[in-house]
Amino acid sequence: METRELRYFVAVAEESHVGRAAERLGMAQPPLSRAIAQLERRLGADLFVRTPRGVTLTSAGETLLREGRAALAAVEAAERRTRRTAQAGGRAPVVLTAKAGATSELMAKLLDAYAAEPDAVEVEVVLSAPGHQALMLRDGRADVAILHRPFDDLSGFDTDILTVEDQVLILPAGHPESTRSSMTLAEATSLLPMPRWPDLDGTYPDGPGPELRDLTQILQLIRLGRTAIVLPESARANLRDGLAVVPLTDAPQVTTVIAWPPHSTSPGVAGLVRTAGRL
Amino acid sequence: METRELRYFVAVAEESHVGRAAERLGMAQPPLSRAIAQLERRLGADLFVRTPRGVTLTSAGETLLREGRAALAAVEAAERRTRRTAQAGGRAPVVLTAKAGATSELMAKLLDAYAAEPDAVEVEVVLSAPGHQALMLRDGRADVAILHRPFDDLSGFDTDILTVEDQVLILPAGHPESTRSSMTLAEATSLLPMPRWPDLDGTYPDGPGPELRDLTQILQLIRLGRTAIVLPESARANLRDGLAVVPLTDAPQVTTVIAWPPHSTSPGVAGLVRTAGRL
DNA sequence: CGGTCCTGATACCGCAGCGGTATGACCCCA
DNA sequence: TGGGGTCATACCGCTGCGGTATCAGGACCG
């Protein structure tokens, strides 16, 4: 199976429509139809059921979509990491990705400590949208990432735990419940509409709360009494006036980990991980 | 990058010789040379340094070999698992792989317990050479595996721990040291030549000990006073007369785990893992 | 109930690019 | 300095990919 075929298949599966997939791929519809048919013949498996409205995946197709995406990410990763290695002849900067905003204190400590190491290489920090760190690690855009359980999918990575924190509710200082010493998650979410986080594709789920784009904006909306948010305890450090904090008794703990792809041999990654383990 | 190019590259890298690689690939040398040159041009990276005796990898080439092997395994896994899903329409047998011989009691318990589950699917057990279980999981020949830390490379898999054991030395009953109550690993290996385990490619490293092909054979050789072996404690169950067991004080513990590829959605795998967790 | 619109499939064609053979350029070594 | 070995280059034929034109069939509508 060639990656070209896999890319075609994934495009058709994602669009559920051969014509649209062909457009997205910058080609005509007939060769795409033929390529899919050929792939099905070679695999000996029906991947799609053809309907008058487009196509839908069979169970074999669902398997190929899931596994094929991972395979394509692995191929892309190979390509990108090879390019990156060649660029700087072994001393290429290590790319670290983390969620924009959060964990800044921890990151600063890590980067400072690592920079002080004798054999430190340059670290390129890429801040990306929530949930994208794992993707970047999988497709080679990053070498190491700061991830958060249970929000990120850590499967397939090697990880070291950095911190474990409880979560707290941040709400307007004047709110009637703002002086309570603790609260359950269910209570917290019933007080005010919670902001909505973007999905992986950048769109927002439907709901009453404001769309979360940047944390300071949300904090402003909290001061105005329009919303509240559940965050790890460490977020307290960034708070200013007008906000109240209530610990949550039953919210899942947030584990911050440093993650890297298995078999990584980059000395930069190894150094960063070693440094992180000493923090 | 196409998988064909990757396969060509891996062949050349493994042979360190374009001509031999071409032979292995069943093609002539010139198109292979050209394909490699084209890959290098497209990646913008030198992958090999050409010498009068063949080729050797650059650092970029080493990166591509490591990552490319993983990517090829992922593509193969996608292909195989798709074929398997199609064959039986969602009720395909789940393939479990384990090291031949060992852990038989644990395996029997697991399979019996799982077979008693209401929604159990057929389990196909594949016994394979030591170290091959992880490979089979990576390239889709298996869906779930019984692995042993620290011997197998668990990186990239999801795992649940089944058992943790100490290791013991098994030596001839008549050996002067056979009555000791404990021993260090260094002492143990100095008494008799240890058998050699095959490498992943099936060849044996050089050394004085006998080549290990099957455990009963080795036990026979131990009775004859020719060798001794370090095994997990559970191996005691299979021993017969003529053998003595000495606990080791500093040998690493052996952790038996059940492992499966991340994002596995097979109901069979999920059921097996659930059952294993209850053992 | 037939026309229209949408879907994917088929037929056919031209050419890019893959693999083949023949040969060259270069290095090591005797 | 020639011979054997390496990989690279030159050139050719054909496979197979992608293009355009068209067909086949179900859904929907008047």
Handedness of CA A38, A43, A44, A48 (dihedral sign): negative
The three-class DSSP label of residue B34 is: helix
Compute the count of residue pairs across chains A and B with CB atoms less than 8 Å apart: 139
Å from the B41 CA to the D11 C1': 22
B124-138 tens-digit pLDDT: 999 888 889 999 999
pLDDT score recorded for residue A150: 93
CB contact under 8 A, A1 and B78: yes
pLDDT score recorded for residue A52: 87
Please give the nucleotide, over all strands, whose C1' is closest to the CA of residue B22: C19
Nearest C-alpha neighbor of B93 from the set B275, B267, B264, B258: B267
CB contact under 8 A, A60 and B86: yes
Choose among B44, B77, B81: nearest Cβ to A86: B44
Å from the A24 CA to the D26 C1': 25
Reading the block at residue A40, the tokens are: 């099905």
Q: Residue B106 pLDDT more than 70?
A: yes
Band of the pLDDT at B214, cuts 50, 70, 90?
Answer: confident
Residues of B in contact with A156 (CB under 8 A): 156-157, 262-263
Cα torsion A68, A69, A71, A74 to 10°: value is 170
Residues of B in contact with A43 (CB under 8 A): 79, 82-83, 86
Choose among A59, A89, A262: nearest Cβ to B90: A59
Cβ of A50 near strand C (under 7 Å)? The reply is yes
Which bases of chain D are under 7 A from a protein CB atom?
4-10, 17-22, 25-27
Across chain B, mean pLDDT equals: 90
> Higher-confidence residue: B11 or A201?
B11
Cβ of B49 near strand C (under 7 Å)? The reply is no
- One-letter amino acid at B162 equals L
Write out the DSSP string of chain A: --HHHHHHHHHHHHHT-HHHHHHHHTS-HHHHHHHHHHHHHHHTS--EEEETTEEEE-HHHHHHHHHHHHHHHHHHHHHHHHHHHHHHTT-PPEEEEEESSTTHHHHHHHHHHHHTSTTPPPEEEEEE-TTHHHHHHHTTS-SEEEEEETTS--TTSEEEEEEEE-EEEEEETTSTTTT-S-B-HHHHHHHSPPPBPP-TTS----SSSPBPS-HHHHHHHHHTTS--EEEEGGGGGG--TTEEEEEBSSSPPEEEEEEE-TT---HHHHHHHHHHHH-
Reading the block at residue A38, the tokens are: 């050929």
pLDDT score recorded for residue A89: 62
pLDDT score recorded for residue B62: 94
Instruction: Quote the CA–CA distance of B37 and B43 in Å, as a whole number.
Output: 10
Q: Residue B91 pLDDT more than 80?
A: no
Residue of B nearest to A48 (CA): B86
Instruction: Quote the CA–CA distance of B277 and B149 in Å, as a whole number.
Output: 17
Residue B55 — left, alpha, or beta (φ > 0 → left; ψ -120 to 50 → alpha)? beta
CB contact under 8 A, B45 and A85: yes
Note the pTM of the prediction, 2 decimals: 0.89
- Look at A203-217, B57-71, B223-237 and tell me which has the smallest mean pLDDT: A203-217
Print pLDDT tens along chain A (279 aa).
Answer: 999 999 999 999 999 999 999 999 999 999 999 999 999 999 999 999 999 888 999 999 999 999 999 999 999 999 999 999 888 765 778 999 998 766 678 888 999 999 999 989 999 999 988 889 999 999 999 999 999 999 999 988 999 999 999 999 999 988 898 889 999 999 998 888 898 888 887 788 888 888 887 788 888 888 988 899 999 998 888 787 889 999 999 999 999 999 999 888 888 899 999 999 988
Instruction: Tell me the CA end-to-end span of chain A in Å, nearest whole number.
Output: 45
- Look at A49-53, A200-204, B1-5, B80-84 and tell me which has the smallest mean pLDDT: A200-204
* B interface residues, A as partner, C-beta within 8 Å: 1-4, 6, 43-47, 58-64, 66-68, 70-71, 74-75, 77-79, 81-83, 85-87, 89-90, 140, 153, 155-158, 262-263, 265
Q: Residue B103 pLDDT more than 80?
A: no
pLDDT score recorded for residue B210: 83
B124-179 tens-digit pLDDT: 999 888 889 999 999 999 999 999 999 999 988 999 999 999 999 999 988 888 88
Classify residue B194 by its DSSP letter.
Answer: P
Measure B189 CA to nearest chain A CA, in Å: 30
Percent of chain B beyond pLDDT 70? 98
